Structure 1
Amino acid sequence: MPMNPLEHDRRYGELDQVLRAYAGQPADDGEGRPSAALTAYLRHTWHTRPWALAAAEQQLREYSRHPPGRLRLRLGEYYPIPDVGLPEHEIQDWLRILADHIKHSIEAGEVPAPSVPLTHWEWHARFPETGQFLGGWFSQDMPDEFADHDAAVTHYIAETDPQLTARLAGEVHELLALNLDESAYALAVAELGMEVDPPAPYAPSGWLARVAAQLDGGGFRADYGESPDER
């Protein structure tokens, strides 16, 4: 029978995070050169969950040394390596190379510098609530569900927990702080799930700034008590 979630995460949880970073990316890691996918994983994890790197190194190395045998394959009690474009006989060596790169990064303190996300995985890892917002409210079905873009934003604010709305506001401001050109912002919102164009006359960055203002306008307002003039 398949593993329960707790056992899966103990054995393979961080290994799974590493391999998810390879979605749509080549597994072209060399002995002295990590791939773009692994660099994206290292950059994001160093800056958000540095303690997870040791678990990733251990789980990758353990899987490379002890791939599932016939019994575990038959019972389904193992982690199925996704198709990364490598022949099956090369997978174990590739996993070892990944573990070696992560170990070197930890021991040498080599941290990829902050950067604009470079892979689909990294966009969603860095801007998770933005991905939920754009993919859920601005799919190709948006024109059939809402009168316009403003109506979709208003619906999101009304139906979403205020803590998540605040998180989205912070992510949108961070996205704007990347100071990209308009073609890069168009790519960014597409990577994050937006399937419709921004409303006229807005370019992608202008529309994101409008969304940020709408989110900020519906946010928390501090109560400072009575002013001296009101007493």
Structure 2
Amino acid sequence: MAVVRNHLVRFLTGPGTPSRIAPQTSWEWKERFPELSHLLGAYFHQDFSHEYSSHKEALDDYISGVSPDDLRCVTQEIRDFLGLGESDQQLKEAAATLGLRVAPPRGVRLRQWLVDVQGIIAHHVQG
């Protein structure tokens, strides 16, 4: 019991290092990246063009509608998501699993767009 207790205490008090292994199922992706799933699925969905005139407008709507803690969380999740080292095709499939249903702005690759989104949100959090 003492061994298990020590493991539980470490797990609950310390922010573990995120796994470098990509999730395998839709549930695992959404469980591991809940705020990124919210951002992509709720703001960059199949009806995106009916609600927003641009990617910037959708991102601004997201930023204005969530807490600063959620903004910090999504910046970390984007960093972890991109850190999985997935190929561009795997990244596209993973983003679709998280709810992304629109292409990034014209002329911008998905990986770069996510880096840009992360930077915009981080800048907003910093003030």
TM-score, normalised with respect to structure 2: 0.81
Equivalent residue letter for 2:74: L
**CA drift at 1:166:** 1.0
Q: Which has the larger radius of gyration?
A: 1
Question: What's the Cα RMSD here?
Answer: 1.6
Distance 1:185 1:114 in 2: 14
Q: Identify the match of residue 215 of structure 1 among 93, 102, 121.
A: 121
Unmatched segments (≥5 aa) in structure 2: 1-10, 13-18
Is the contact between residue 71 and residue 122 of structure 2 (CA under 8 Å) also seen in structure 1?
Answer: no
Name the counterpart of 1:206: 112
- Fraction of identical pairs, as percent: 30
Distance 1:209 1:146 in 2: 21
Distance 1:177 1:217 in 2: 20
Distance 1:140 1:114 in 2: 30
2:95 aligned counterpart, secondary structure: helix
1:117-171 superposed Cα distances (whole Å, 9 cap, x missing partner): 1111110110011111111001111111111111111111011111111111110
Is the contact between residue 20 and residue 83 of structure 2 (CA under 8 Å) also seen in structure 1?
Answer: no
Equivalent residue letter for 1:207: W
1:116 aligned counterpart, secondary structure: coil
Shift in alpha-carbon separation, 1:180–1:114, aligned structure 2, 3 A: closer
Name the counterpart of 1:136: 42
Comparing both structures, which one devotes a greater share of its residues to helix? Answer: 2
Q: Identify the match of residue 26 of structure 2 among 120, 135, 141.
A: 120
Name the counterpart of 1:19: none
Distance 2:85 2:114 in 1: 12
Distance 2:53 2:85 in 1: 30
Distance 1:210 1:139 in 2: 19
Equivalent residue letter for 2:35: E
Runs (4+) off by over 3 Å: none
**CA drift at 1:114:** 4.4
Alignment of 1:172-187 (within 5 A): 172-187=78-93
Unmatched segments (≥5 aa) in structure 1: 1-49, 52-112, 222-231
**CA drift at 1:192:** 0.1
TM-score, normalised with respect to structure 1: 0.46
Alignment of 1:39-58 (within 5 A): none
1:218 aligned counterpart, secondary structure: helix
Distance 1:212 1:119 in 2: 24
Name the counterpart of 2:101: 195
